[in-house]
Amino acid sequence: MSSAAPLSPLPRLSRDALPALPTHLLSPEWREPRIGIVHLGIGNFHRAHQALYTEEAMLAEGGDWGICGVTLQGDVGKRDALMEQQGLYSLVERGPAAVKVTVMRALREVLAMPVDRPALFARLADPAVRIVSLTVTEKGYCRDPKTGEVALDDPAIAHDLTHPLAPRTVPGILVAGLRARRDAANGKPFTVLSCDNLAHNGAALRQVVCSFARQLDAALADWIAAEVPFPATMVDRIVPATTDAERATAAGQLGYRDAAPVPCEPFRQWVIEDRFPHGRPAWDAVGAQLVDDVTPFELAKLRMLNGTHSTLAYLSMLGGFATIDAAIGDSAMRAFIHAMMTEEIAPTLSMPASFDLAGYRDALLERYANPALKHRCAQIAMDGSQKLPPRLLATIAARIEAGQPYRRLALAVAAWMVFLRAQADDGTRYEISDPLADRLTALSGSAHGEPRALMDALLAVREVFPADLAGHVEFRATLYRALQLLKENGARAAIAALQ
């Protein structure tokens, strides 16, 4: 008896396949653009957010805004996977009731640091590149949290200051690229566009870059400060990590293999400070908001969405919820997060009259409940030492200044502290992924589970807790009560107690 021949594998996604995929394109019309944007940190978020807006903008009003994406961790595998597909990838948009797969074309080139350093600096020197954008997370800024200047004690920064023509860090790369632009015949810089969840991200990046440049060349630092725009932005879209499920979904709908699909929710938002003297895509024609001041929108997102996302992540890691939709599906957790947003976070915000904070809150709760995304709490829990200050501690400081209570916010901070023991309430172990992981877990272990010792040890970490907050008597008392509540009752009972 003969066995059936194995099925042939699907062909790989490529530009030759596009004529067969008209229903999976934003438009069948397309003119291959020159590269006009270099993006540092070519992860899932950029590909589901800024790259999508950029392709839509080129379809709407033209322009040469093709993207050169750069991986900063030497991820040759990601580079090769995307370049084997000629920069193509699919967005797998998962709504509560349907899945939509769209093939994206704006990504024209992918480079991997440090192996492609010469090619990257050739791009940065090219006057056709008018924007360098980045999504590198808070830790990628190499920023001293106490001063906002570049972190001179960072070994990677020390390397870049010693080897300025072979940089490894974002500040080093940007300064080297801007030096080349200053010294070129036309002397025009590129615009530097931060798209990270960092308070006042444009100003923060400008301070880091200028302080790094000043260590090398005071005249260069002065030129950057005077000539280089650093617009602020607020970005919003829930983009989980890619799994085999997205690869299977993309293959099933396209009939082609995609090694790098990106899952995302239907919702997206982009608010941008309108400072682009050297030109930009027509992002405002496709839904982005170009404004004079991003700050109110940035704070609303950082505190309402990112703050509650982190709260959900740490309480869920302790309480045994694996994904955000599972966590918010618990009635006690939903009531807790609703009350936290309504009573503790929203009063700290000053929004334009047209902005409906209650509607924004309700929309966030519905986005969290989307069962199709399966956004892992462990992913959101990463890098807490970088995320806590803008997402939770700044809100607590605002509540303290206003003389208002913050019991739920304090429970979120306490949950992060207990999370560092690397063990859920039921004994399940998990990994701590954080730039300060070794130090934080050692401090947690030295406390032996005692709330007072744990609080004292972690409040002394100045990279996370500023001295004035760490020494605030009322804050310490509120945080201690939250830690006691978690120790005596576990996360789920603590949530129920503070609804």
Q: What is the mean pLDDT of residues 85-92?
A: 98
Q: 423-475, pLDDT tens digit by residue?
A: 999 999 999 999 999 999 999 999 999 999 999 999 999 999 999 999 999 99
333-350 pLDDT, tens digit each: 999 999 999 999 999 999
**Superfamily of domain covering 16-291:** NAD(P)-binding Rossmann-like Domain (3.40.50.720)
| pLDDT above 70 as % of the chain | 98
The model's pLDDT over 48-87, given as tens digits with 9 standing for 90+, comes to 999 999 999 999 999 999 999 999 988 899 999 999 999 9
Average pLDDT, the chain: 95
Q: Residue 3: is its pLDDT beyond 50?
A: no
Q: What is the pLDDT of residue 9?
A: 86
Query: What is the per-residue pLDDT across 169-214, written as a single tens digit (0 to 9) for each?
Result: 999 999 999 999 999 988 899 999 999 988 899 999 999 999 999 9
Question: What share of the chain in percent tops pLDDT 90?
Answer: 94
Check residue 57 and give its pLDDT. Answer: 98
Q: How many other CB atoms sit within 10 Å of the CB of residue 155?
A: 9
CA nearest neighbour of 41 among 207, 154, 198: 198
Core vs surface per residue 460-487: b (16+ CB within 10 A) or e: eeebbbbeebbebeebbebbbebbebbe
Q: What are the structure tokens assigned to 440, written together?
A: 């934080």
What secondary structure, in 3-state letters, does the chain show? CCCCCCCCCCCECCHHHHHHCHHHCCCCCCCCCCEEEEEECCCHHHHHCHHHHHHHHHHHHCCCCEEEEEECCCCHHHHHHHHHCCCCEEEEEECCCCEEEEEECCEEEEEECCCCHHHHHHHHHCCCCCEEEECCCHHHHCECCCCCCECCCCHHHHHHHHCCCCCCCHHHHHHHHHHHHHHCCCCCCCEEEECCCCCCHHHHHHHHHHHHHHHHCHHHHHHHHHHCCCCCEEEECCCCCCCHHHHHHHHHHHCCECCCCEEECCCCEEEEECCCCCCCCCHHHHCCEEECCCHHHHHHHHHHHHHHHHHHHHHHHHHCCCEHHHHHCCHHHHHHHHHHHHHHHHHHCCCCCCCCHHHHHHHHHHHHCCCCCCCEHHHHCCCHHHHHHHHHHHHHHHHHHCCCCCHHHHHHHHHHHHHCCCECCCCCECCCCCCCHHHHHHHHHHCCCCHHHHHHHHHCCCCCCCHHHHCCHHHHHHHHHHHHHHHHHHHHHHHHHCC
Task: State the pLDDT at residue 97.
Answer: 87
Give residue-wise pLDDT tens across range 356-394: 999 999 999 999 999 998 899 999 999 999 999 999 999
pLDDT score at 444 = 97
**pLDDT recorded at residue 185:** 80
Q: Do 157 and 142 touch, CB atoms closer than 8 A?
A: yes
Right CATH for 295-497 from 3.40.228.10, 1.10.1040.10, 2.60.40.10, 3.40.50.880: 1.10.1040.10
Question: At what angle are helices 473-497 and 407-419 packed, to 10 degrees?
Answer: 90
State residue 136's pLDDT score: 97
Interval 397-417: pLDDT, tens: 999 999 999 999 999 999 999
Task: Give which of 96, 105, 83, 92 is closest to 44, Cα–Cα.
Answer: 92
Going by pLDDT thresholds of 50, 70 and 90, the confidence category of residue 2 is very low
pTM for the whole thing?
A: 0.87
What pLDDT was estimated at residue 5? 40
Q: What does the domain layout of the chain look like in residue ranges?
A: 16-291, 295-497
Domains 16-291 and 295-497 are alike in CATH topology: no
**Average pLDDT score over residue span 153-176:** 97
